[in-house]
Amino acid sequence: MFLLWNFGVAVLLSVLWTASEAIRRLYFHPLAHIPGPRLAALTWWYEFYFDVVQPGQYVFKIQELHTRYGPIIRITPDEVHINDVGFLDTIYAPSMTRRDKYGYQLRSLRVPGGLGTATDHDLHKVRRESLAPFFSKKNILHMEGLISDKVDQLKRLISTHVAEGTPVNLSDAFFAFSNDVVNNFLFAHRTDVLASEPKAAILRQNSKELLMGININKHFPQIPDFLESLPMSISRPMMPPGLVDLLALFDRVREEIFMITKAKESGVAVKDKVGPTGKESVFDSLLDSPNLPASEKMPLRLQQEGALLVLAGTESPAQTLNIIFYHLLANPTLLVKLRRELRAVPIPSSWTQLEQLPYLSAVIEEGNRLSFGVTARSARIAYEPLTYTPSSYVSSTCPPSTRSKSCTIPPGTPVCTTTLSAHTADAVFPDPFVFDPERWLGDVGKERRRFQMAFNKGGRKCLGIELARAELYLVVAALVREFDMTLFETDADDVAFLYDYQVAMPKMGSKGEHFGKVDDQNTPRCEFLSLSPSYNHHETMLPGSLNKAAKQVLTHLPHYLQLRASKIFILSLFVWLLIFYYCRISLWRDPHSAFFQDRHVYELDYSLHREREAWHFISQHNSAVDPPDYVKSGGTPTACIAMVTVRRDSDHYFEASVGSMLEGLHERERQALYLSILFADTDPRVHPSWDQKWVGRLVDSADTYNVSEGQLQHLQDLERDKNFYEKGVFDYIYALQTCQEVNAPYTIIFEDDIILATGWFTKTLKALSDISHRNKQSQNPWIYLRLFYTETSLGWSDSDMAYSNMPLIFGLLMLSTFSSLMILRRTRFERLHLDTLSIVVISMVCVPAFTALVYMAGKYNLMPLQGVVEMNKFGCCTQGLVFPRESVDGLIEFLTARVHGQTDSMIEEYADQSQLTRYALAPPQLQHVGLKSSRNNLDINTQSTWAFWFETNDAAKLRKEHAALLEDHEVKRMLNI
């Protein structure tokens, strides 16, 4: 009864909230004064109906709504559409005017790391500036040979079909051509889809099927979220083939990023300049960009950037080529004019020569216009109020009474004009669906180019426009001059814009466009060609079938909802979504969780607080007048701390590192520490902290190298050559030897770009005491206690039984649930009224769904580490390691023999060889805040060395824990209290 009462209250509150929200949206919303259908203002389900139930029809519905409501309408609860190209320059303003994109529309693409999917104006600007040199016309002109080679390959493909007397599918060929060009332009690896017609056909169809699911992604992002959170072995069979192709592209891109990263780290990167940018791959350009912050150079972000560039660079040129060739062949007079103009330039012709031809340029502009570019709405969000006053370009189909009414659009409102609206504006393009290149000629034609939206407009205009233009000019000129073609059993619907799936789609079930035999002595090569830009008859259901199926579902919906199984499913779905959104709020810091959000995870929180305390502490002791007294090491210390520091070219972390290490230490803690600083520049005077007053007052020993002249010269050579792999090993050995001379039981090596938490030393002593007790029982020798680790290596792996046997676990849970419920139904629990369908829903839907949530949460969230844990694998980096004195000499001998390499990897190798246990203290006691490595490592490597939960530390709580540990018996013993 209590549960029933709670459920009733929840339902009542939901109804009240829904009613109040409906009233607000209709009457009190900032957009309530803008005309439009009430359903669109009330709910996004209106858009869903015309996006999914009536597939891909909302852009056309919007055009119809303008004929009823006028040039400005409200098309969703928070979005406005304007059918007036005179307002385009206000919506799609130049880059100096701030305009954000609307995130709701971009989530359908599933690649937030791309240039085109950056919602924030400033983020887009940074990404664009880093890519602009690579996409410059100068660089594309240099790469023109790459495009020309593919044009020649395309001509050879057609010639082969001519010789064999067989048709060629130009739609597949155009898709393969543009896909090869953009891949080979962007990446160091090469693709050759054009060499295999079957592969080209499969990839094009997969791409179309992927785009057909794009509206589902927008309205129900939880579905792809769920699929992506599952292990690949489970999710891949459920994915559409186009998504599998996209993941394969991700793999290729990831491999290229890895290879470039390794080459740069090892100093064997390509030295020969490639074109004006000097870069062979777009990732070379991005990784070397000084404009991009470290978070923008993370591998996942770069993978998404590469994938989006390939998708855009494939679909757009291929679509335009389909449009151009259909209309040229459907209108022979246009083809004759174009051929006549092309005779004026040599064969072969360069892109620069072809651009000078006005009629060819007009044909390409008209092809771009009727391809419609990105057909999906691309709204902009202004941060100032916009006043819309109808211009002279308002469509004649709008009611006359609405053509003079001004309207104020509140700040923060998504506003858009679709390419369908812009490209069919009858005031600019009379007979808009007629292919008429003449409209682009002369001064009037130049004026019309202001309204060309095929490559978007304003500060977000497509960066790849010049690459696409080069492809179009070279392909159209080559094929028109060298081949003669005529259409066969093809009509305009085979290329018409009938469905909106991010790009224009023609009629479903088209058999394609065909070209029949011709007799043209000037160009006799081609006898039969086919151009099929749309699906074969088996590719999808017809719109009428979809409507019929939808009506049948709606007719029987009340009956379905009365079923007990339906109620169980709806309640479970509600609970699942509540848990899902709770996890998104709470578990977003785990890098292996499905809820991970990298946009804010690298922002400093507790570290900033601790850094302020550290700087205050350092500034007090650096004062020239009356600095506070300070106690240093006394007697035989418990631990010797060695820190190696060098001058950095940008940010300097050394003071904050030392300050956070010492600030807050109890007097007895400080006496138990011996702090040694090695200024590891061969000329220590270049270091900003050399000879600073605070160093002498706080540090027990601060010096530079005490070596022979020969060794110093060698170190200077290493420093000049930036051979950090050898010099880094030398410095580490030097630091270890310095602490061995102090004769402390433990040696702690810290890097100089860290922030330590309050109470770090007492927790370290407590951990060392625990290790000592363990070793008395197990007699296991150990090499270090790690005070820092990153969770990036602590996800599910094949060594985890729950992960490697996931299909078995899912199966057992479903089977056991089904069996248990069937047994319960037949025994004394009959009052449960569990019918077979309900049991199937619980067992086969609910149980796997909630089990999947467990895996989605991530291993570290489910089983967080605590206290002293063994970490013989997956421990990363040398930001803070504590060595027992008896293990140091062997390590020094090993490092001395190896001479150079990655210090952390060499320590792990030594531990494996010597069978020494490695421990870690959880949670980490320090954060790695150095975004710029002192060893010239790439930002993507230094950024990934991050303690993801460290920033959630509570300063007050840590102070209380510190005070409590100072009273701990074991800690007191180790402090000699």
Taken in order 819, 825, 826, 827, the sign of the CA dihedral is: positive
Quote the CA–CA distance of 552 and 169 in Å, as a whole number. Answer: 38
Quote the CA–CA distance of 792 and 598 in Å, as a whole number. Answer: 12
Token pair of 590 as six digits: 């785990």
Residue 142, burial from CB neighbour count under 10 angstroms (0-12, 13-18, 19+): middle
Quote the CA–CA distance of 393 and 402 in Å, as a whole number. Answer: 13
* Of 336, 309, 663, 357, the residue nearest 463 (C-alpha): 309
CA distances from 351 to 470, 606, 633, 815, 871 (A): 6, 56, 75, 65, 60
3-state SS, residue 81: strand
Contact 892, 737 (CB under 8 A): yes
Quote the CA–CA distance of 340 and 324 in Å, as a whole number. Answer: 17
Token pair of 953 as six digits: 């530390």
Contact 931, 651 (CB under 8 A): yes
CA distances from 107 to 102, 222, 229, 765 (A): 9, 11, 16, 49
Contact 456, 287 (CB under 8 A): no
Question: Is 877 annotated as a binding-site member?
Answer: no
* One-letter amino acid of 489: E
DSSP per-residue codes, 746-776: EEEEE-SSEEEPTTHHHHHHHHHHHHHHHHH
Residue with the two structure tokens 């035989």: 636
Quote the CA–CA distance of 360 and 353 in Å, as a whole number. Answer: 11
Which stretch of DSSP H or E encloses residue 814? helix 806-825
Residues 6+ apart with CB under 8 A from 110: 217, 224
Quote the CA–CA distance of 792 and 782 in Å, as a whole number. Answer: 24
Instruction: Provide the edge-to-edge strand list for the sheet that holds 867-870.
Output: 701-703, 673-679, 639-645, 746-750, 880-884, 782-786, 917-922, 867-870
CA atoms within 13 Å, Cβ hemisphere of 393: 19
**From the annotation, which residues make up the binding site for heme?**
462
**From the annotation, which residues make up the binding site?**
462
